[in-house]
Amino acid sequence: MSDILEKIVATKKVEVAADSQKISLANQREQAEENNRDETLKPRGFIHSINQKIASGKAGVIAEIKKASPSKGILREHFHPAEIAQSYANNGAACLSVLTDRNYFQGANAYLQSARAACSIPVLRKDFTIDSYQIYEARALGADAILLIVACLERNQMQELEACAHELGLDVLVEVHSAPELEQALDLKTPLLGINNRNLKTFEVTLQTTLSLLSMVPAGKTIVTESGIMNRADVQLMRNHHINAFLVGEALMRATDPGVALGELFN
Ligand SMILES: O=P(O)(O)OC[C@@H](O)[C@@H](O)c1c[nH]c2ccccc12
227 is a catalytic site residue: yes
- Residue 249 beta carbon below 6 angstroms from any ligand 1 atom: yes
259 sits in which H/E element: helix 258-266
- Residue 196 beta carbon below 6 angstroms from any ligand 1 atom: yes
- Residue 64 beta carbon below 6 angstroms from any ligand 1 atom: yes
Q: Which residues of the chain have pLDDT under 50?
A: 1
- Predicted pLDDT of residue 202: 85
Q: Which of 53, 66, 69, 114 is catalytic?
A: 66
Task: Please tell me whether the interface predicted TM-score (ipTM) of this complex is above 0.85.
Answer: yes
- Predicted pLDDT of residue 3: 87
Q: Which of 15, 137, 162, 175 is catalytic?
A: 175
Cα–Cα distance for residue pair 61/87, rounded to 1 Å = 13
Per domain, the residue ranges of the chain are 4-266
Atom of ligand 1 nearest to the CA of 149: 15
Beta strand ranges found along the chain (DSSP E): 60-65, 68-69, 73-74, 95-99, 123-126, 145-149, 171-176, 192-196, 222-226, 245-248
87 is a catalytic site residue: no
Atom of ligand 1 nearest to the CA of 66: 10
- Residue 248 beta carbon below 6 angstroms from any ligand 1 atom: yes
Atom of ligand 1 nearest to the CA of 197: 8
Ligand 1, atom 7: closest residue by C-alpha? 227
Cα–Cα distance for residue pair 247/66, rounded to 1 Å = 12
Q: Which residues contact 103 (CB under 8 A, 6 or more apart)?
A: 8, 11, 15
Q: In sequence order, which ranges of 91-229 are alpha helices (DSSP H)?
A: 109-117, 132-141, 155-167, 179-185, 208-213
CA distances from 212 to 182, 195, 197 (A): 11, 10, 11
154 is a catalytic site residue: no
Amino acid at 142: G
Count of H-run helices and E-run strands, the chain = 12, 10
User: What percent of the chain is predicted at pLDDT more than 90?
Assistant: 97
Separation of CA 142 from chain center: 14
What's the first-to-final CA gap in the chain, in angstroms? 40
Q: Which residues contact 73 (CB under 8 A, 6 or more apart)?
A: none
DSSP class per residue in 233-249: HHHHHHHHTT--EEEE-
- Residue 228 beta carbon below 6 angstroms from any ligand 1 atom: yes
- Predicted pLDDT of residue 2: 63
- Predicted pLDDT of residue 1: 44
77 is a catalytic site residue: no
Q: What architecture is the 4-266 domain classified under in CATH?
A: Alpha-Beta Barrel (3.20)
